[in-house]
Amino acid sequence: MVVATSDVYLALSDMDAQVTNVLLNGEENGWLCDPDQDGGACGRSGSRYFYDIRREDAERAALQAARLAEDDPVRLRTVQSVLDGLHQYDQRVQTAMERGRHVSHAFGALPEDAVEEYRAATTLMTEDLLPKANNLTLGGAAIVDTTYREERSGVMAGRIRVLVFGAAVLLALAALQLYLAVRFRRMMSLFLVAAAVGTVALTAVSATVLANEGCT
């Protein structure tokens, strides 16, 4: 979820940057050119190709995020809102390009009606789409952090249980050895010594493994 929504944010940012560059430089014709409809008589600009690629990236990442959030209605609504807003953004950009190419303009000197559409498009991007994509990423990161903390807490609690259990077994073995020494005058039982050594080794290995798991 975090990776997918991060990809959405980056793709949207790249799209808006391409639109800004084209409108500032007066390259609307290359943007609007459609070689398929014009019989190959025009050449579509690299900015438009890059925009289309990043738009597909944004849609693909958003759909992936939606699949990952299938059990979260709030996230699903947010993803759907981003996709709907992306369509509106596309329409605003197209209108700005159409209005900009009707007037030959110097660098940064767009006609007023094109400026209005561009402002509406970039406002939609910066105040709606990007914040929503960022919120999805932050929400996913929060889930990752919470899950990590819960899992780590469980691992560390398991480590404490292992240590307590190991200590209890050693105390039981010591008590048994003391009983044998008093009752049967056996100062040392090789079986109990072996059991104690095995318990110490198993407890140490288990606690170390769990400690390492808790730190990763």
For residue 106, pLDDT beyond 60: no
pLDDT of residue 70: 67
pLDDT of residue 195: 81
Contact 63, 135 (CB under 8 A): no
The sign one gets for the Cα dihedral 13, 19, 21, 24 is: negative
For residue 40, pLDDT beyond 60: no
* Alpha helix positions (H), 69-111: 73-101
Question: Distance between CA atoms of 44 and 29, rounded to whole angstroms?
Answer: 8
pTM: 0.59
The whole-angstrom distance between residue 4's C-alpha and the CA centroid of its chain comes to 5
Q: What is the mean pLDDT of the chain?
A: 79
Residues in the chain: 216
pLDDT of residue 38: 59
Amino acid at 64: Q
For residue 164, pLDDT beyond 70: yes
* pLDDT mean over 140-162: 71
**Comparing C-alpha atoms, which of 90, 109, 99 is closest to residue 19?**
90
pLDDT of residue 153: 76
Residue with tokens 């003391």: 178
Strand, coil or helix: what is 104?
Answer: coil
Looking at per-residue confidence, does 40 or 51 come out higher? 51
Question: Distance between CA atoms of 211 and 163, rounded to whole angstroms?
Answer: 11
**Comparing C-alpha atoms, which of 14, 20, 12 is closest to residue 115?**
20
* pLDDT mean over 93-116: 77
**Comparing C-alpha atoms, which of 64, 65, 70, 124 is closest to residue 93?**
124
The whole-angstrom distance between residue 162's C-alpha and the CA centroid of its chain comes to 35
pLDDT of residue 89: 92
For residue 90, pLDDT beyond 60: yes
For residue 197, pLDDT beyond 80: yes
pLDDT of residue 120: 92
Question: Distance between CA atoms of 74 and 113, rounded to whole angstroms?
Answer: 37
